Chains A and B, each alone.
Chain A
Amino acid sequence: MIRFLASSRLRYLWLAVGLLLALALPWLVYPPIAMDIAAWALFAVSVDLLLGYVGLLSFGHAAFWGTAAYTSGLVAIHTGAPYLVGVLAGAVAAAVLAVPIGFLSVRRTGIYFAMVTLAFAQLVYFVANQWRGLTGGENGLQAVPREFFGLDLSDPFYFYYAGLPVILFGLFAAWRVVRSPFGRVLMAIRDNPARARALGYPVDRYKLLAFVLSATLAGLAGGLFAVNHGFVSLQEVYWPTSGKVVMMVVLGGIGTLWGPILGATLVVQLEDFLATSGFEGIGIVTGAVFILVVLLFRRGLWGTTSHLLTMVRDRGRPSHPAPPEPTLARELEKA
């Protein structure tokens, strides 16, 4: 049975199970949480696209998620356009913001990249905080409508199904990028930037393009999140949001795409559980879980499981070396 499950030919079965779960989600969890899970899942996948496949840890993705959230909210409030217009405008805004930030950030790698993206996100946070006339400052954007050609989407249960296609499109886009020749080049850059450069690939341009793509997906997710909640708070551009999404990726498994989806589901559920149980200091639990994952399960839940399944499947066959632990940025090791 386990061997059967581990067979890589069963990818389509996994896909079907995943789709089924996505469709059934509002029945399985409290409906307003369902869209949160979906939005955070796409957000986490966007971060994994950079971290797992280009080896760049962005610790400032809240900038893109938050900018898109504000943009979607503002478009919805001021034009009353269908929610899709606002969400797309949010994704475009995130992409536009990602060009200068990405251009400057890809000049550094590894730990520097993480610090620089974090600092730029803080810049965006201060701007959002100061520009009260537009963002509402600490009060946030209130009463973002959920308009779709007169359809009543005020019930979060229905809005989930309205938003799900956008999320699935985003996830599909990430999957396509990873499997494309472009994605292969990204992985080559992750594993050996000098060699990729020697082969004639403009490394920094590839990184920048990946960064903008990732920010666009994060923006798509952020816009939907904003419309789902009906308001945008300063929290969306603040650094704990950037940290939370990285936490989801690492918990689920870096470089697996499925893992971040799993990680997002668990973290959103855990935080919801802690918040409703009245426990103060959610960070004590999430932080401790994160510390344990980093210390003990660096492959993440998805990575550990698939690693174990692979070992079981290959039992009795000529052994081959275990796949290395995921490296965050292999460039630094060689530097």
Chain B
Amino acid sequence: MTNFLQQCFNGLVSGSFYALLALGLAVIFGMLGVVNFAHGACYMLGAFGAYILLVEAGVTFWLALLIVPVVLAVFGMVLERLAIHRLRSLDPLYNFLLTFGVTLVLQDLVKREYGIQSQPYPQPRGLTGSVDLGLFSYPAYQVFVLVSSLVVCVAVWYVLTRTRVGMIVRAATERPDLTGALGINVGRWVTPVFGFGIALAGLAGVLAAPMRAVNPLMGADLVIAVFAVVVIGGLGSIFGSVVAGFGVGLLQALANLYAPTIAQTLVFLLMAIVLLWRPAGLFGREEAMA
């Protein structure tokens, strides 16, 4: 029983990363219609950002948690202005291809500088021990990751549903032309939203640094799993992406317990089942049939 609960916790922790990344992808997709292949590379940059700050400048984890997402948001906004923006009127597949190219460049730049071996990153001070959760004790850092991911997801949900900015973003997602006709400058929100999505990936990367291997390829496989997660949740649905993120993490951990051979492939098998049963995803709406 304890083992089971512990696995559930592990699942929710890895689900935290899925959820943060899927959330960023979903926000970007909603506003820009772009599927950002470079999301995994940005997650990797987030982890490396924390590592570089620590090694080069002695900046602690807590400060990195603030600095890195901001830097990546700026990076994202520059990328959006310089490249993604130019392809927005074309088929969204072009931006998918563009961000694939960006991924190759970023990955190999980091690989060239730091090699492919994993870089060590210490657990932040204050979170090194473990927390007693009644039935079992659990590493404090993992609890922190889970809580921060939940807080971020809820905060994003709150901003999107309860504030004026969120209303504009949701309206622009739904009907950009109509929103524009109502006198709202939709274009003004595109760049910041893209930057925000990238910042979420960077935040996930910083959170991953102390508990996962910091290496140039850390985001490559993850982003493909996250693609499967958002297909399961329904790509247009922000709520769906978050729920699917935590759900997939949980199921993967349980698979680890009961059927370890399929644990790695489970997310793709789940995607296959969802495609059979609800092609639009669990929380997605049917695509308009052309």
Contacts and interface: CB of A to CB of B under 8 A. Distances in A.
B287 A114 contact: no
Nearest to A280: B112
16 contacts: A104-B275, A107-B279, A111-B35, A112-B235, A118-B224, A119-B228, A120-B272, A122-B221, A283-B107, A284-B105, A287-B101, A288-B101, A290-B100, A294-B87, A331-B290, A335-B289
B105 A111 contact: no
B7 to A, nearest CB: 20
Interface of B: 35, 83, 86-87, 90-94, 96-98, 100-105, 107-109, 111-112, 220-221, 224-225, 227-228, 230-231, 235, 261, 264-265, 267-269, 271-272, 275-276, 279, 287-290
Interface residues of A, number: 53
A286 to B, nearest CB: 6
A257 interface: no
Given A119-B231, A284-B112, A250 B279 contact: no
Interface in A108-134: 108-112, 114-116, 118-120, 122-123, 126-127, 130
B275 A123 contact: no
B90 to A, nearest CB: 8
Contact of B97 (A107, A118, A286, A294): A294
A123 B225 CA distance: 10
Given A122-B224, A294-B87, A107 B268 contact: no
Given A115-B231, A328-B94, A239 B224 contact: yes
A310 interface: no
A150 to B, nearest CB: 42
Contact of A114 (B96, B112, B275): B96
B278 to A, nearest CB: 10
Contacts of B83: 291, 295
A283 B108 CA distance: 6
Interface string A260-289: 000000000000000000001111101110
A109 B264 CA distance: 26
B265 A104 contact: no
A239 B104 CA distance: 11
Contacts of B109: 281, 284
Contacts of A282: 108
Interface in A305-335: 325, 327-335
A243 B104 contact: yes
Contacts of B228: 115, 119, 122
A229 interface: no
Contacts of A328: 91, 93-94
Contact of B92 (A110, A118, A194, A325): A110
Nearest to A197: B289
B231 A116 contact: yes
Nearest to A60: B224
A57 interface: yes
